[in-house]
Amino acid sequence: MKKSVVFLAIAVLALSGIYVMASSNMIVEETIGSIPTLDPAWSYDTGSGEAIWQLYDNLIQYDGSSISKFKPMISTNIPSEKDGTILDNGKTYIFHIRQNVYFHSGDILTPEDVVYSLERAVIFDRAGGPSWMLAEPLLPTIDGAYVDSIEQWATKLAGVKKFNDLFLSGTRTPKNDKYRQALIDTFNLLSKSFEVKGNEVIIHLPHSYPPFLYILAHGVSESSILDKKWLIEKGGWNGNANTWWIYHNPSREKDPLYSIENGTGPFTLERWTKGREIVFKRFDKYWAGPAKIEYGIIKKVPEFTTRKLDLLRGNADTIYVPRQYMEQVENVPGIKVIKGLPVLSVDVGVFNFNVDSKGNPYIGSGRLDGRGIPPDFFSNENVRLAFDYLFPYNAFIKQVWVGQAIVPNSVIPKGIFGYNAKNPTPFTQNLAKATEYFKKAYNGELWNKGFTMTLVYNSGNTQRQTACEMIRYYARRINPKFHVNIVSELWASFLDDYASGKLPFFVVGWSADYPDPYDFEQPFYSSNGAYGSTIGKNYVEWAKKNMNTLLVKSMKTVSQTERAKIYNQMNIEAHDNAIYMFLDQPLSMHVQRSDLKGWYYNPMRPGIDFYSLSK
């Protein structure tokens, strides 16, 4: 053991009155991310998710590195049709709740805690948060569409336009008895989904929802199991139908679980110094047995040089290494580097079929006259095909991702069922074909007159900046009349502009909320999707005819084989019509000291799993 490691252990933990002599009892991770919250219902980021992973359990968990097989966790069974614990074509799920499970407070977990936790996640529903994942399966549809927020049912039952219309101005007091009853009736729609029978929790979905088990698995923070009694004592929701709206969409730092925890996970919270580090201590009453280490520490260290020196000296066991610095830690004695790990995310170039032209400088003159583009420029299939063949995919992977990415052929990333490596065939750069389609567009008028438009990327995102620069370079190369300008915007402005339909073309990414193809197909292909709904009326109408029905069909069966066929049909349709430009699926890397044992890769796990680690 190196003396410097012992001193680090003493220095880090002495502040909280803890004295640790053996570095083998402690694992230190150094990274660059922050932790916004410790509340599982608020968390929708990797930093919070990694901390919550150590502190809380879910009903079920992934089996090691698999994202298709589960193991029991708080539930002692994995529901299945074979053993009769999934019934009604995937609408009823029966969970046998593990007994004698301790919360960190000393309370014993009950089936009521499970129901309370899942109901709270739906009513919590903070703006921009993850509640939609449970709202969609647990609440009835409205006009055949899934409900993403409990607010939708409240406004429907009350007959108002907006959720805030239910309350006296600036309060959470309902304006009248009718509105109060509508709020109560809304909660009762949710509570119908749950039944406690002895030591069983039975969940009755109002409709089949094939990804449901993924949403309940460890790694989806909002499905973590909480201590109902303890949280009520701390000022949390009391579990009643006639108060839920008071606890709906809270501010982050006024949330009772913002900076404290009481899970059943293998570690308790020892200390959280916001913006600097978080320290976890082993929970010796953990139902699966105590962890091999006593302490886990996540430190925020922005400078790579500092992180690298700490790794080399043994002051850190694992660190975040940007791709451009990977060579500095490869082939170093005592350091282990694992590369080529598929990340469940894709980056996509988005064509806006109908740009909002009002006061929009990004489309120039707004006409096909060489000084601009018409608002429906990308409604032209030949234009989209031309740009798809224009982009240098392989060079982009090599230069931007240092080879640590692959070119996707659809919105489904490699690693998720439904991914088909052979069909459709990914686009590759072919300037001859790009020229051919540009000449076909607008019966040759586009080629002869040229165009001028502006591409926008969010400030600081070098990947998106480089993508725009590559488009500009090759557009000008095949026709000097093709003028592409590039502008950066702050993130908030970028989000507003793409959502309002102002950007003619933009690059975005999507990472898995859960490892099911629906989580990728819906946002991109549905006329109501996060991206599909923002790229113009022409796309929306096309999607209604070609994609929406298939999406609905894909959620009516629990057969993965049948669902995969449907998604492949959608992917071929999108490819053949050049709906998007599929840019990259990143590959992940892991860097650690060689004496660290037990690390495994699961793309649905946020960060590392301290419970599996030892030295």
3-class DSSP string for 120-161 = HHHHHCCCCCCCHHHHHHHCCCECCECCCCHHHHHHHHHCCC
User: Distance between CA 115 and CA 537 in Å, rounded?
Assistant: 41
Q: At residue 11, does pLDDT exceed 90?
A: no
pLDDT at 558: 84
Spatial contact of 194 and 201, defined as CB atoms under 8 Å apart: yes
Q: At residue 17, does pLDDT exceed 90?
A: no
User: Distance between CA 254 and CA 563 in Å, rounded?
Assistant: 42
- For each of the domains in the chain, give its residue range(s) and CATH number, in order of start: 3-34+275-334+594-612 (3.40.190.10), 53-254 (3.90.76.10), 345-587 (3.10.105.10)
Query: Which tops the pLDDT comparison, 191 or 558?
Result: 191
How many residues does the structure list for the chain? 615
pLDDT tens figures, 449-487: 999 999 999 998 999 999 999 999 999 999 999 999 999
pLDDT tens figures, 251-296: 988 899 999 999 999 999 999 999 999 999 999 999 999 999 999 9
User: Distance between CA 563 and CA 557 in Å, rounded?
Assistant: 7
**pLDDT above 90 coverage of the chain, percent:** 92
pLDDT at 492: 87
Name the phi and psi angles at 448, rounded to 5. -75, -40
Q: At residue 164, does pLDDT exceed 70?
A: yes
pLDDT tens figures, 69-99: 999 999 999 999 999 999 999 999 999 999 9
SS3 state of residue 425: coil
Spatial contact of 281 and 294, defined as CB atoms under 8 Å apart: yes
Name the phi and psi angles at 614, rounded to 5. -160, 175
pLDDT tens figures, 566-599: 999 999 999 999 999 999 999 999 999 999 999 9
Strands 194-197 and 92-96: unpaired
pTM for this prediction: 0.91
